[in-house]
A and B are shown apart, each in its own frame.
Chain A
Amino acid sequence: MLNCKEATRLMSEAQDRPLSTGEKLQLEVHLAMCRGCRNFREQMDFLRLACRRFMQRRGGGDDSSSAS
């Protein structure tokens, strides 16, 4: 059985590599029972999104404020 601490490690690694079927299954079972870890996963997704947006803002990609 996965505990919360191990689940957070898997959720971080899921941002970097595809999880194995076994890992996914264990994680899904844990998430079904644990709201704290479901929130953690949403927060990981948020961080990835925020980093992308941060770069777009810096690099001018989608940032219309600096266009004339």
Chain B
Amino acid sequence: MHRPLLSDKPLIDDQFVAEVRRDMLKFAQLQLRDATLAEDAVQEALVAALAGARDFAGRSALKTWVFSILRNKIVDLIRVQSRTTNVSALGDDEAGLDETFDALFKDNAHWRPETRPFGWGDPADTLREERFWEVFEACLDHLPEKTARVFMMREFLEFETDEVCRELSLTVSNCNVILHRARNGLRRCLEGSWFAPGERAC
């Protein structure tokens, strides 16, 4: 048995910790929208992860484990936050997003020709582009806070929708409305910032 912390070629060195910490902070900041909370969550997760370090097949496996600890920390913090904030109350930025959404449609609730969704091409090509991920993160960051929280719990923390509703004390229909708002906001942001308006749908 070797201990990864003390082996000749350590699994964990300063550079690795710095790199993982940077990624973790970005992720926690996206979810929590609070620099201090994010910093605390990352520190606690790192300490817990390194204190309990077992044998890992490699850095990739270790990183996955550290992130799973961080994920639990974030979920705990969201639970605490949801007791003190009313997620269902609509903020100004949320209302703005709804107005923008309504403006995509004509009076008969069909797409306006100029805002009709267009084809985005091959997803695999897009997801290979390093620059795409910067745009993706920026678009996530642009979502209104409460909207982003619900969306990220669903998509990143992998809650089922009814669990998200329960954790945040939302009705199912309210949850659905918020998720729809989030997906459309993200879709519009990516369409405007990344996908060049190419061939219009007819």
Contacts and interface: CB of A to CB of B under 8 A. Distances in A.
Interface string A56-68: 0111110110111
Contact of A61 (B64, B155, B161, B201): B64
Given A6-B109, A12-B180, A54-B133, A66 B119 contact: no
B93 interface: no
Interface in A27-50: 34-37, 39-40, 42-50
Contacts of B202: 35
Contact of A44 (B67, B126, B183): B183
A51 B190 CA distance: 13
Q: How big is the A interface, by class?
A: 35 or more
Contacts of A35: 116, 201-202
Contact of A39 (B67, B118, B154): B118
B156 A42 contact: no
Main secondary structure of the interface of A (DSSP, over half): helix
A50 B136 contact: yes
Interface string B57-71: 011111110011000
Interface in B34-80: 58-64, 67-68
Contacts of B58: 67-68
B192 interface: no
Contact of A66 (B27, B59, B155): B59
B92 interface: no
Interface in A1-15: 3-6, 8-9, 12-13, 15
14 contacts: A8-B180, A9-B180, A13-B176, A36-B116, A43-B117, A45-B123, A46-B123, A54-B136, A57-B133, A60-B63, A66-B19, A66-B20, A66-B60, A68-B59
